[in-house]
Amino acid sequence: MRVATAQQAPAYRAPRLAGTQTPNLNGIWQALNTANWDLEAHSPGPSPFPAILGLYDAEPPGRGVVEGDRIPYQPWAAAKKKENFEKRLTRPVDLKTNETTGDPEAKCYMPGVPRATYMPYPFQIVQTPRQILIAYEFAAARRSILMDHKPKPLSDTWMGWSTGRWDGDTLVVDVTNQNDKTWFDRAGNFHSDAMHVVERYTPIDATHLMYEATIDDPKVFTRPWTIKMPLYRLVEPNAQVLEYRCVEFSEKFMYGKFLETSIK
């Protein structure tokens, strides 16, 4: 009797960037999940002001994107995360409050890495052999990934310092020198200025990338941990990253105290 043996399908090989042997990641991509609400699995929840908003801005349920399901906080940091959530919409009345309290998204601040990837807006990858630009719709954020050299970072910034390399068909990006003012999501998950992020972008077919980000921050977490999710290519003929400069929409929240005083 002859026994049929199953043959494994060959691994996907992405189209090459012209003049190179590296995958072409150029395109507009977007995450389709609830990670910006909460990286961990979560139940649905009401909007911050249900009597006014009803269902608007209510939190949808999500299965989570953290491998192992839980973020490994140190005890003090778990308490801080809970406090962050409770004070996520605190109105900044002075510099100290602004820098230490409230979700930076509400203030239209740069989202940082990895949050910029899974906010509910598209982003565009523009790739050359020496450098890769990622332009995000939210707050006109952007960053450059240096592929051919690794100069010393000048200072900490909202989007950090990114250098890249290829591991087969996977783009591996080291992100360092982010400040401690960004959050991972609206649930108050946070990090310190010691955070080191290693991202992996792997083409799995013509319209999907698998995205992984490993977070290492010994000041806040007991060990490194990883998030993982697919990214979807926008394939409609008129796909583009539109301009979403949200500063003007956050001005009253940020500076209402001063605007109200000036009106009087």
Is residue 48 in a domain?
A: no
Running along the chain, 264 residues long, what does each successive block of 10 average in pLDDT? 55 92 97 98 94 93 96 98 95 87 95 98 96 96 92 90 96 97 97 98 97 98 98 95 91 78 51
The vertex-245 CA angle with 243 and 250, nearest 5°, equals 150
Q: What is the pLDDT of residue 149?
A: 83
Q: Compute the 3-state secondary structure of the chain and give helix, strand, coil in percent, each to the nearest 5.
A: 20, 30, 55
- Give yes or no for a cis peptide into 122 (omega within 30° of 0): no
Count of domains for the chain: 1
Is residue 15 in a domain?
A: no
Q: What is the pLDDT of residue 1?
A: 47
CA 132 to CA 128: how far, in whole Å?
6
Q: What is the pLDDT of residue 4?
A: 47
DSSP string over 152-184? PP-S-BSS-EEEEEEETTEEEEEEE-B-S--BS
59 closest CA partner among 107, 122, 120: 120
Q: Where are the beta strands (DSSP E) in 76-148?
A: 123-127, 131-136, 142-146
Is residue 20 in a domain?
A: no
**What is the extent of the structural domain holding 178?**
27-43+58-263
Q: What is the pLDDT of residue 94?
A: 87
CA 41 to CA 169: how far, in whole Å?
30
* Tokens 């995205």 found at: 211
Is residue 184 in a domain?
A: yes
Answer for the pair 125, 147: CB distance below 8 angstroms, yes or no: no
Q: What is the pLDDT of residue 242?
A: 94
Is residue 22 in a domain?
A: no
- Those residues whose C-beta lies under 8 Å from the C-beta of residue 66, and which sit 6 or more positions away, are 39, 40, 225, 226, 227
Is residue 52 in a domain?
A: no
What is the pTM assigned to this prediction?
0.92
Q: What is the pLDDT of residue 153?
A: 83
8-state DSSP, 238: T
Q: What is the pLDDT of residue 36?
A: 98
* CA 63 distance to own-chain centroid: 17
3-state secondary structure of 240: coil
Is residue 33 in a domain?
A: yes
Q: What is the pLDDT of residue 18?
A: 94
Q: Where are the alpha helices (DSSP H) in the chain?
A: 50-53, 75-86, 95-100, 115-118, 247-263
Is residue 192 in a domain?
A: yes
